[in-house]
C-alpha cells in the first residue's frame, strides 16, 4: 500500500527538504571557508561595479532558471540556488509550492538583467519553488541594464561583487 500524503503535508515536506539542502550547502561552504560562494549576488553591487545605469524594458521573456543568480533586496532570504535560507519565508514558499502542485496560473516574475545574469526583483518564492521542482525556464518581465564595463558579475571571497572580463 502506498501512503497518501495530502497537499499540506507535501508542501511542508518540500519546504523542510529545501531548507535542509540550503543549511547543508551553507555548512559545507563555511567549512571550506567560502561563505560568499553560497550567497545570492546583489543586483545593486553588480550594477555599481559594472557602472550599469542605462536600461531598457525588454518585455516578457522566457528565461533559463539557472541564469538567475541574484536578487534585488532579498539576498539574505535565499541561497545562491534560490533555496530558502531562512525559516521566515516558509509560509509564502509553501503557498507558492501549493500553487505549483495544483498547476495554478501565477503571474510572471520580474527580473533585471546584466550581461547573461538575471536578478529577481519580484517573484523570489516563485523562482525558488520552480527551481526546487526542476523547472528549467520561467516567464518573466525583463529590464536589461547596460554596463559601461564589459564584464560579468561574480562574488569575491568576501561576498562583494567584482567583475571578470570575457
Q: Return d(Cα 121, Cα 72) in angstroms, integer.
A: 5
Per-residue confidence (pLDDT) for residue 154, from 0 to 100? 58
Residues forming a β-bridge with 70: 41, 119
Q: Which residue, 63, 34, 56, is CA-closest to 131?
A: 63
Q: pLDDT at position 100, please?
A: 93
Structure confidence at residue 113 (pLDDT) = 94
Q: Give the strands of the sheet with 137-146, arranged side by side.
A: 41-42, 68-71, 117-122, 109-114, 137-146, 54-64
Query: In the prediction, which pLDDT does 86 show?
Result: 82
Task: Give the chain's domains with CATH numbers.
Answer: 7-151 (3.90.1530.10)
* DSSP symbol at 39: B
For 5-99, strand residue ranges (E) read: 41-42, 54-64, 68-71
54 φ/ψ angles, rounded to the nearest 5 degrees = -80, 140
Contact 70, 41 (CB under 8 A): yes
Whole-model pTM above 0.85?
Answer: no
Quote the pLDDT of residue 137.
94
pLDDT in tens, the chain (166 residues): 446 677 888 888 888 888 888 888 777 777 777 666 667 888 988 888 888 888 999 999 999 999 999 999 877 888 888 888 888 888 999 999 999 989 998 899 999 999 889 999 999 999 999 999 999 999 999 999 998 866 555 555 455 555 554 4
SS3 at position 14: helix
Amino acid at each position: 500500500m502506498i501512503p497518501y500524503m495530502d497537499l499540506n503535508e507535501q508542501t511542508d515536506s518540500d519546504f523542510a527538504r529545501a531548507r535542509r539542502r540550503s543549511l547543508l550547502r551553507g555548512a559545507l561552504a563555511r567549512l571550506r571557508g567560502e561563505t560568499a560562494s553560497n550567497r545570492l549576488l546583489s543586483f545593486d553591487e553588480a550594477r555599481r561595479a559594472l557602472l550599469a545605469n542605462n536600461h531598457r524594458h525588454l518585455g516578457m521573456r522566457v528565461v533559463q532558471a539557472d541564469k538567475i543568480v541574484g536578487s534585488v533586496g532579498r539576498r539574505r532570504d535565499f541561497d545562491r540556488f534560490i533555496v530558502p535560507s531562512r525559516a521566515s519565508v516558509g509560509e509564502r514558499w509553501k503557498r507558492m509550492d501549493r500553487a505549483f502542485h495544483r498547476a495554478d496560473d501565477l503571474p510572471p516574475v520580474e527580473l533585471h538583467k546584466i550581461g547573461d545574469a538575471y536578478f529577481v526583483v519580484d517573484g523570489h518564492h516563485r523562482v525558488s519553488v520552480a527551481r526546487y521542482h526542476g523547472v528549467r525556464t520561467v516567464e518573466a518581465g525583463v529590464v536589461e541594464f547596460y554596463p559601461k564595463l564589459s564584464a560579468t558579475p561574480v562574488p569575491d571571497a568576501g561576498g562583494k561583487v567584482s567583475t571578470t572580463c570575457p
